[in-house]
Amino acid sequence: MKKIWIYQADRFFTQPEHELAQEKLDRFVEEWTAHGNQLAGKAEIKYNLFIVFTVDEAMAQVTGCSIDKSVRVLKELEEELNIGLFNRMLISYRDTEGNIQLVSREVFDSLCKEGEVGQETIVFNNLIQSADDYSSKWEVPLKDSWHASVFFASV
């Protein structure tokens, strides 16, 4: 089974930042281990906003220590690039033109109430944990995500 971790930045990476971050992530993944076993991992930056780690656990199981190592490299990136990767209070979605927008929960809530964001709006479900879900449940209509119970429960 392939495990997935998605970290959303608090702003979009610039192209130079994207290149620097991807190089650092590639070097990290080459040496990523769990209790001395090489992990079959991959790290990619999607849409200049998300860092996605993938590990094929058929090769070696991920451990708490190996997850800590990935968090450490992300913390280093935060410091180097002055970017946040652990702010869970931001919501990303696609606007009517298909462009990715990144807003606070408060703004997203207002957009829902104003009808700018609806049940069919594509949102990013960064809580998924498997490669299967990544391909089918990461970018989904709001009505099919956890967002619906939070933002449309009061509408």
pTM over cut 0.75 = yes
- How confident is the model at residue 155, as a pLDDT? 45
Average pLDDT over residues 32-59: 90
* Lookup: tokens for 12: 């979009």
CA distances from 130 to 44, 55, 121 (A): 15, 9, 23
| Mean pLDDT of the residues in the chain | 93
Q: Which of 122, 125, 126, 124 is nearest to 97 (CA)?
A: 122
Per residue in 52-97, pLDDT (tens digit) is 999 988 887 888 888 999 999 999 999 999 999 999 999 999 999 9
Average pLDDT over residues 100-109: 97
Domain boundaries, the chain: 2-81, 90-151
- The model's confidence at residue 151, banded by pLDDT at 50, 70 and 90, is confident
- How confident is the model at residue 154, as a pLDDT? 53
| Architecture of the domain made up of 2-81 | 2-Layer Sandwich (3.30)
| E-strand stretches of the chain | 2-8, 33-34, 37-38, 40-46, 50-56, 90-94, 100-104, 122-124, 139-141
Q: How far apart are CA 103 and CA 66, in angstroms?
A: 31
Average pLDDT over residues 2-15: 96
| Amino acid at position 66, single letter | S
